[in-house]
Structure 1
Amino acid sequence: MTVSFRPARRVLGLTLLALAGLGAASAPALAAPNEQFVPLPTYRVGPYASSGTLWWAGILDYFRYINEVEGGINGVKLVWQECETEWSTDRIVECYERFKNGRDGAPTAFFFTHSTPASYALMDKGAADHIPLIDPAGGRTESTDGGVFPYAFPLLLNYYSQASVGINFIAQREGGFDKLKGKKIATVYHDSAYGRETQAAIALLAKKYGFENIQIPVADPGNEQSAQWRQVRQAKPDWIFLRTWGVSTPVAIKTAARFGFPVDHIIGDVWAGSEADVLPAGAAAKGYKAIAPFPGGAQFEIHKRLKKAILDAGKSDLKDPKFFGSVYYNIGLINAATAVEALRTGQQKFGNRPLNGEEGRWAFEHLDITDARLKEIGFYGLLQKIKLSCNEHEGGGAARLQEWDGSKWVQITDWVQADRPTLRPLIDQKAAAYAKEKGITPRDCRKAG
């Protein structure tokens, strides 16, 4: 996900600044020949620091666990370099350019963009450089089609799938898809590329099921929404799909309450469903629901392992332990685990050594995390099973729904699957249009190795 609107400030790192021009506060020792390098475009300061600190803590805690408990990935240690970006697209691109070829002899196998605008900005560069761009639950939706986009992976739940999961959940609550006919479903969305990304999918689903599709934009930063919720009150929708971000989410929840819209009929998308989105809203948020491919909670097996080996040992990147198991921390864990499992998959073909970008692409395209494997690595229930291929760069395609009970997120469903048969033709149309625009000859995925 992701949007960034404010100019970035120069943040000085502790080491390697003269060489890198970017921060490196948590980078381990310099790379050796048997180490895999991972550039990290972090955001520990600036407007999104409250989420970034938790997100990256989850990634780094899992990387340290792999290095210190498991001895690396088949003996290959992970090393990393942080680039402080404040979620500025320009600085994420700068980080990519600086480290796309690795560091100190250790190659780069993939690049976390963690930003939809950055994924768009780097799309051509990643393809030209043969560096996979990884953006779970974000990125460019049509990059699900790996035939056209071999180096972009909107893992787990692309934006179309997020819309579909929300509609499918509403159908469950209403008693079936036939009950959607004549209903009014309003999307209150951040007026940005991120917020508008689901519009085509919702329009398609509205046509299929016969519900009225109401779209209401919220201008950045969204700290005043009386006009929007006055529109909601006039339209009288049955359900609201909330696709806001940052401060606009708690403001939306509080304003909805002020205008009398029931919070238990508001469903936040992936990026409007963290503790940071509900705590500032106070009592008004109780009953609010959100789509969660990254559910909150510290009850999973991996949390037990991390607490013992990392947190209790004083090695965690998490500054405040009360956020252990928070939604954003768990996002970091899941992103790190999918990357580690992809690298492990690639080693099965290329040997137990560091992988380059082309090998990283092969690794992600052959990623297959089964329920049995999820149990082995301690992620069962936290991460959905996922299988990728040349033609399928999303995998997963499901999310749980969670509800805020006033103090914590509670899972209220099992995995709800998106309507891929309906959505995939639309994705393929957009991918084909992109290929035509760019003069790309799509890969024949039937022949892909």
Structure 2
Amino acid sequence: MKTLKTLAVAAALGLAAGPVLAQELYVPNLAYRTGPFAATGIPLMNGQADYMAMLNARDGGIGGAKLNFEECETGYSTEKGVECYEKTKGRAIVTQPWSTGITLQVLPKTNVDEIPILAPGYGFSPMADGKVFQWAYNTPAGYWDAASMILQYLDGQGGLDGKKIAFLHLDHPYGKEPLPLLEKKAGEMGFELVPIPVGLKEMQNQSAQWLQIRRERPDYVVMWGWGAMNAGAITEAVKTKFPMENMVGVWWSGHDADLKIVGADGAGYKSISWSFPNADAPVMADIKTHVVDAGNSQSNEEEMAGVFYSRGIVISAILAEAIRVAQEEYGTAEIDASQLRWGLENIDMSEARIEELGLTGMVPPFSTSCANHTGHSGGWMLEWDGEKFVKVSDLLSADLEDYQGLIGEKAQEYADANAPWPVNEGCEG
């Protein structure tokens, strides 16, 4: 009601003074529709863009302000990503880097530019510490959450003590992110961790890595892949007859198109996920009516049924919710970056709110705060049945207490290494 009254007063004043200028929120996306990771980027970007287009068409934007969801193409290149950040930061109220490498480069700039980073499900895991990282958010779950849930799930299959886990990962900041937690848990749970990096030039030819896997004979392969690496690894796993039921990927390694390459031979492969496609969710009908049927979508029916397109929808819904709560708090439609920061710290994506947004079954509940910039939503274990991903677990929750201290330790290490680093002393809890 507060927002409606404020906007009504603003509109009345505008009419009295003359024509009202269109209100707009600039929320650019550092997209990657080209390059070696395009196959995964395109459905994500399409889902994000379609949700924002739906809000513009159905609701006139958010709170009376249209959304300018301009894309700046990075090709997943860190250098191009930084260029896009510099190009867009003048008007942007948020930056969406879409790469851990870009995120790490932009992270120090946020304290100066005071523009929040929104990196849903990726980025630097210690960004969960909102006291140290005042302008960075990796809602609704971080990489250490993913590692925790994967290990919990595997431990439930017969224990991990005495087992061997091959960690097949992209040789990139993203692929190395879960190593601190995996190394900690290997000592605590009694399993042997064998890191196996995949270079950017090796993504499509992983014969050396899979030769090592055959030699090591691990009980499980945990994959932290991206783009062409995922398809390459899954194809090699099938070729070498690795038991697919013993291969588990992070949420960026659970792309339908990668598994369709091997079809039924990939049955049993699993991926942890904080999102899930639901064709019957009301939001899907609204996107069809207001975007697809209007000829304004770059997607297609097959892509829209997949995990990554629906994840793009959820990501934009998270940003939209942060915008909405910030508008309500500050009584203005055209919030600035600092006000959006407050919104990102006050998201309450409860079951009831998820239902209201039409996202039924598509994302687990989570909430953020000044101190908690991740939300730690939990996730589902998905399994490829030969044709599509299906849920094979109840909602799993990361054991945050187990590594809360590690988050604080690594956050402080980062702050010390980048001193002087401002922290939010007023942020408690």
CA deviation map 1:193-252 (0-9, x unaligned): 111111111111122222222222222232222332232223222211111222222222
1:164-207 CA distances to partner (integer Å, 9 max, x unpaired)?
A: 11101112222xxxx22212222111122111111111111122
**What amino acid is aligned across from residue 144 of structure 1 in structure 2?**
A
Asked if 1 retains the 8 angstrom alpha-carbon contact of 2:32 and 2:74, the reply is: yes
Which residue identity is paired with 1:411?
Answer: K
TM-score, normalised relative to structure 2: 0.90
Conservation of the 8 A alpha-carbon contact between 1:251 and 1:281:
no
Q: 1:63 & 1:323 partners in 2: Cα distance? A: 18
Q: Given the superposition, is the C-alpha separation of residues 196 and 75 from structure 1 closer, same or farther in structure 2, using an over 3 Å criterion?
A: same
Deviations 1:142-179 (A, max 9, x none): 111111110111111211111111101112222xxxx2
- Secondary structure of 1:188 counterpart: strand
Secondary structure at the aligned position of 2:272 is classed as strand
Task: List per-residue Cα deviations over 1:392-418 (Å, max 9, x = no partner).
Answer: 111034111111111111111222111
Query: In terms of mean alpha carbon deviation, does 141-150 or 274-283 score higher?
Result: 274-283
How many angstroms apart in 1 are the aligned matches of 2:272 and 2:81?
27
What SS does the aligned partner of 2:383 have?
strand
- 1:447 is displaced (CA, Å) by 5.9
Task: Establish whether residue 135 from structure 1 lines up as the match of residue 119 from structure 2.
Answer: yes
Alignment partner of 1:279 is 2:263 = no
Of 232, 240, 243, the residue aligned with 1:262 is: 243
Aligned equivalent of 2:269 = 288
- The answer as to 2:191 corresponding to 1:230 is no
Hey, what's the Cα distance between the residues in 1 that align with 2:145 and 2:78?
24
Contact 1:391 1:445 in 2 (8 A): no
Give unpaired runs (5+ residues) of structure 2. Answer: 1-19
- 1:345 — aligned with what? 325
| Count of residue correspondences | 408
| 2:199 is the counterpart of 1:219 | yes
In 2, Cα distance between equivalents of 1:224 and 1:282: 20
Q: What is the Cα deviation at residue 119 of structure 1?
A: 0.4
Q: CA deviation at 1:78?
A: 1.0
**Corresponding residue SS for 1:112:** coil
RMSD of aligned Cα (Å): 1.9
Partner of 1:91: 80
**Contact 1:190 1:244 survives alignment (8 Å):** yes
SS at match of 1:39: coil
- Aligned to 1:287, the other structure's residue is in SS state coil
**Deviates most, 179-188 or 193-202:** 179-188
8 A contact 1:267–1:289 mirrored in 2: yes
Counterpart of 1:244?
225
Determine whether 1:120 maps to 2:107: no
Shift of 1:423: 1.4
Match of 1:404 in 2: 384
Residue 445 of structure 1 deviates from its aligned partner by 4.3
Is contact 1:157–1:396 with CA below 8 Å preserved after alignment?
yes
How far apart, CA to CA, are the structure 1 residues paired with 2:426 and 2:214? 49
Cα distance in 2 for residues equivalent to 1:257 and 1:77: 47
- Report the residue type matching 2:316 in the other structure: A
Does structure 2 conserve the Cα–Cα contact (< 8 Å) formed by 1:44 and 1:84? yes
Runs of 4+ aligned residues of structure 1 deviating over 3 Å after TM superposition are 445-448
Alignment match of 1:197 (pick from 162, 171, 177): 177
Q: 1:182 to 1:87 in 2, by over 3 A?
A: same
CA contact (8 A) 1:134 1:154 kept: yes
CA deviations 1:359-393 (Å, max 9, x no partner) are 11111011111110000001121112121111111
Query: 1: CA distance between counterparts of 2:162 and 2:275?
Result: 32
Counterparts of 1:247 and 1:78 in 2: how far apart (Å)?
A: 32
- How far off its partner does 1:351 sit? 1.0
User: Does structure 1 residue 436 correspond to structure 2 residue 378?
Assistant: no
Report the CA distance shift for 1:364/1:339 in structure 2 as closer, same or farther (over 3 A): same
Q: Distance in 2 between matches of 1:390 and 1:322?
A: 39
| Whole-angstrom distance in 2 between the partners of 1:331 and 1:253 | 21
Residue pair 2:61, 2:67 contacting (<8 A) in 1 also? yes
Residues of 2 paired with 1:366 and 1:165: CA distance?
25
The aligned runs of 1:367-406 (5 Å cut-off) are 367-406=347-386
Q: Which residue of 2 aligns with 1:160?
A: 144
Question: Which whole-Å CA distance do the structure 2 matches of 1:43 and 1:228 have between them?
Answer: 27
* In the alignment, structure 1 residue 322 sits paired with structure 2 residue 302: yes
Residue 171 in structure 1 maps to residue 151 in structure 2: no
Q: Secondary structure at the match of 2:32?
A: coil
1:66 corresponds, among 45, 55, 70, to 55
- In the other structure, the counterpart of 2:335 is 355
Cα deviation for residue 61 of structure 1 reads 1.1
